[in-house]
Amino acid sequence: MNFQTSDLIYIIPAILIAMTVHEAMHAFTAHWLGDDTAEREGRISLNPLRHIDPFTTLLLPVITLVLFHVPLLAAKPVPFNPNRVKFDEFGAALVGIAGPLSNLAMAIIGALLLKFSNGVILPTFLIDFTQINVALFVFNMIPIPPLDGSRLLYAFAPEALQEIMAKLEQFGIFIIFALVLGFPGFFDILININQSLLNVLSRI
């Protein structure tokens, strides 16, 4: 991602849209599967104020865009009770991946609009919007708790691995940032996956 400070006028609304839909889809999917915890807290909403954390949603992605050219951000976690959703661990996995899949869907929509509008509809915004949604999809699908991809892994993991993942969850966010920021090889893998997906989207 080639980031310029002037792009903030496009990047900030793109992040807010991507994050809001991501979190609302977590909440909606949990409700659809039988748990109304998120609904009772007003999280089935397209109002970004319902989902914003001042540091992890607004400040952190700007810092990481400037330093690493990839936005790392988190909204307020959507609460849900995995014991109340249908299909047990698989239901919880559906709640988990609903957010990243919404980012992938938005990236596809952004790429299609960019292609078929012939640059008429805010091309800079659509480029940033597509790139941000791809980055959020890739990052959130890392199968380390508490990221969304861990829910999918947990559903198919043997019991021994599930126990390890449960113990790691309270430390997971520190593990993730240590990997992303402290190990260039891991960060390079994320960049390569991002670029591969962007290359696919550019050809649709």
Q: Which of 23, 39, 41, 159 is catalytic?
A: 23
Sign of CA dihedral 77, 169, 54, 124: negative
Sign of CA dihedral 154, 54, 101, 78: positive
Give the torsion through C-alpha atoms of 138, 142, 146, 148, to 10 deg: 50
Do 159 and 38 meet the contact criterion of CB atoms below 8 Å apart? no
Rounded Cα distance between 148 and 153, Å, is 9
The one-letter code for the residue type at 160 is A
Cβ-proximal residues to 195 (8 Å cutoff; 6+ apart), any chain: none
Whether 23 is catalytic is yes
Three-state SS at 21: helix
Cβ-proximal residues to 164 (8 Å cutoff; 6+ apart), any chain: none
Instruction: Give the residue numbers annotated as catalytic, written as ranges.
Output: 23
